[in-house]
Amino acid sequence: MRKTNIKTFAVVFVAVCGALLTACCSKNDDTVVTKPTDDSSQFVTLTDAVPDAILEIRYFGTYNFVGARIDGYLQPTALLTRQAADSLRAVSDDLRAQGYRLKIYDAYRPQRAVDHFVRWAADLADTAMKPYFYPDLDKSVLFEQEYIMEKSGHTRGSTVDLTIFDMRTEKEVDMGGTFDWFGPESHPDFCGNPETGEYTGDNSTSPTGRSITAEQFANRMILRRAMLAHGFRALDSEWWHFTLNSEPYPNTYFTFPVQQL
């Protein structure tokens, strides 16, 4: 009888440990999460650190995958932790020397905005923006394929979504796809190898045979190289998304709204 009890305890112990590990680890988050806070004292307005950055804050307007202004965006501005903003200034200086400026789509994102995304994704009848951002997907798979999650690295304050603007042509650089496109076409390795910068033309992951050109892939690499060179890491599913390697609050999710500090 004693042997049976020990065996049963061992099975239960392993199961509980496994459940705890599963609960703590997710695609975007670290294993320890501190209590959410509305303390913005260690954040700066991005344009104070990078004055020549162009802002196109998609979640303040209606041209985004939801089709409405997102909760928590009170002004069309961008906020970052001081450390991330300083590193982004170095990126900006690097790219300016090459004839480009940074264009910012999103930076710090309050938890209430993430909650808004979750509510929207659960409403399967609302597909108003499907033709523009996820035409190849059924909305029901957005949670399953982790396009929408209950936590976002943006809420930790050291992640930025951005592209580059060509000062010579006075146009946004052609990246071969729009910000927030839900699909493999947004992956940095789509049609090429981001580690070597080699264009391969391999579009086999696209469900409908979409592709990007060698020039469009090369443009993505210009942004990627500059970001990685100045302390940011890339995300394997979005060419526009970068997080500071040494982010100061890797386990803290902030709740204050996006507005001028």
For residues 41 and 248, what is the distance between their CA atoms, to the nearest angstrom? 13
Q: What pLDDT, on a 0 to 100 scale, did the predictor assign at position 7? A: 37
For residues 255 and 188, what is the distance between their CA atoms, to the nearest angstrom? 30
Grade residue 178 by pLDDT with cuts at 50, 70 and 90.
very high
Three state DSSP letters for the chain = CHHHHHHHHHHHHHHHHHHHHHHHCCCCCCCCCCCCECCCCCEEEHHHHCCCCEECCCCCCCCCCCCCCCCCECCCCCEEEHHHHHHHHHHHHHHHCCCEEEEEEECCCCHHHHHHHHHHHHCCCCCCCHHHHCCCCCHHHCCCCCCCCCCCHHHHCCEEEEEEEECCCCEECCCCCCCCCCCHHHCCCCCEECCCCEECCCCCCCCCCCCCCHHHHHHHHHHHHHHHHCCEEEECCEEEEEEECCCCCCCCCECCCECCC
Kindly report, residue by residue over 193-217, the tens digit of the pLDDT: 999 999 999 999 999 999 999 999 9
Between helices 214-229 and 82-96, what is the axis angle to 10°?
130
Q: What pLDDT, on a 0 to 100 scale, did the predictor assign at position 10? A: 39
Residues in the chain: 261
Rounded mean pLDDT, 65-90: 98
Q: What pLDDT, on a 0 to 100 scale, did the predictor assign at position 34? A: 74
Indicate whether 12 pLDDT > 90: no
Q: What pLDDT, on a 0 to 100 scale, did the predictor assign at position 66? A: 98
Question: 145 Cβ partners below 8 Å, 6+ apart?
Answer: 137
Q: What pLDDT, on a 0 to 100 scale, did the predictor assign at position 222? A: 98
Q: What is the pTM of this model?
A: 0.87
Q: What pLDDT, on a 0 to 100 scale, did the predictor assign at position 32? A: 60
Rounded mean pLDDT, 113-126: 98
Indicate whether 136 pLDDT > 80: yes
Indicate whether 1 pLDDT > 50: no
Q: What pLDDT, on a 0 to 100 scale, did the predictor assign at position 37? A: 94
Max CA pair span of the chain: 81
Rounded mean pLDDT, 97-102: 98
Indicate whether 163 pLDDT > 60: yes
Name the average pLDDT for the chain: 90
Percent of the chain with pLDDT over 90: 86
β-pair type (198-199, 192-193):
antiparallel
